[in-house]
Structure 1
Amino acid sequence: MIVITIDQRRSRSGPDKVEALLHRLANDYEAVRGFERTAGDEIQGVLRDGAAAVDLALEVARTGEWSVGIGVGAVETPMPEQTRAGRGPAFEHARDAVERAKGSSGSLALSGPGDGAERLEAELQLVAMVNARRTESSAEAGILVSRGLTQQQVAAKLGISQQAVSARLASGLWYEATRLAAAAGLALHEYALITEGSRRT
């Protein structure tokens, strides 16, 4: 199972943004146990799909407003209805990950058993750093492409040439980062299944 813990950065010097994030995550992502506030400015949810977990973690980390910890492993069953009442290694790994994320590259970290966690964390941190360093114009073009628009359609929408769109995507390493994120999502899904299976045997 995959547990994601998200903590608001610099919450003492700014407004509480938890409720807005909870609303967005509830609308955009399917969870085994939905995200809810666990303590103060921290929220937590449980997912089964690795690709969705990667998309969610990178989307939230990209804002620069949150530290994101991904914990992988078994959970105690039957799971309680409330996420905050969940227990098991995945929850413990998520706690470790979110604490490390506060000082980690891209404000994102991943923890889990065995050798799989370190490589996955490095891949996700790399993508998170690329996302964080994109210019606003590069990110805008990439988001439109991710929604299914062709470069020609993006160019028409932004009022620029197709060559300019291509340059923005290239400078932001959009396609490379997208491919790495997709591969990491598949790897995370397999890793979560393996760690759950090894716990049962």
Structure 2
Amino acid sequence: MIVITIDQRRSRSGPDKVESLLRRLDGEYNAVRGFERTAGDELQGVLDDGVMAVALALDVAHTGEWSVGIGVGSVQTPMPRETRAGRGPAFEYARDAVERAKNSSGALALSGPGPEAERIEAELQLLALVNARRTKTSAEAGTLVSQGLTQQQVAARLEISQQAVSARLASGLWYETARLTNLAGRALTDYSMTMEGGQGS
């Protein structure tokens, strides 16, 4: 199972943003156990889909407002209805991950047993750093492409040439990162399933 713990950055010097993030996550992502505030400015949810977990983690980390920790391992069953009442190694790994995320590349970390956790974490941190360093124009073009628009449609929407769209996508490594994001998500699903098979303690 995949447990994601999210902690608000610089919460002492700004407003509480947990409730607004909870509403957004509830509307955009399907979880085994929905995200809930666990303590103070922290929230937590449980997922079983690695592709979705990766998309969520990168999405939240990209805002620059949150530290995101992903824990992979087994959970005690039957799982309680409330996320904050959950127990098991996956929750413990998520706690370790979010603490490390506070000082990690891209404000994102992943913890779990074995070397696979380190490899997936490295991929996610690289993706998070690329996301953070894109220019505004590159991000604008890439977001439209990720929504299903063709380069020609993006060019018409932004009132620029198709060659300019292609250049913006290339500078932001959009196709390369999309491929790596998908592969990392699939790897996370496989890793999580292996841990559920009895190796996650």
Whether 2:80 is the aligned partner of 1:80: answer yes
Whether 2:120 is the aligned partner of 1:120: answer yes
Give the corresponding residue for 1:182.
182
Give the corresponding residue for 2:49.
49
Q: 1:114 Cα deviation (Å)?
A: 1.1
| Consecutive aligned runs of 4 or more in structure 1 exceeding 3 Å deviation | none
Q: 1:25 Cα deviation (Å)?
A: 0.4
Deviations 1:8-35 (A, max 9, x none): 1111111111111100100110000000
Q: 1:200 Cα deviation (Å)?
A: 8.5
SS at match of 1:78: coil
1:10-159 alignment, distance < 5 Å: 10-159=10-159
Deviations 1:21-58 (A, max 9, x none): 10010011000000000001100000000000000000
Letter in 1 for 2:129: M
Q: 1:115 Cα deviation (Å)?
A: 1.4
Q: How many residues align?
A: 201
Whether 2:5 is the aligned partner of 1:2: answer no
Deviations 1:123-153 (A, max 9, x none): 0000000000001111111110000000010
CA distance in 1: counterparts of 2:85 and 2:66, whole angstroms: 22
Q: 1:198 Cα deviation (Å)?
A: 2.2
SS at match of 1:7: strand
Give aligned-pair identity as a percent: 77
Q: TM-score, normalised by structure 1?
A: 0.98
For the aligned residue pairs, the C-alpha RMSD in angstroms reads: 1.1
CA distance in 1: counterparts of 2:199 and 2:188, whole angstroms: 17
CA distance in 1: counterparts of 2:145 and 2:100, whole angstroms: 32
- What stretches of structure 1 of length at least 5 have no aligned partner? none
CA distance in 2: counterparts of 1:135 and 1:61, whole angstroms: 17
SS at match of 1:76: coil
Asked whether the 8 Å contact 2:89–2:200 carries over to 1, the reply is: no
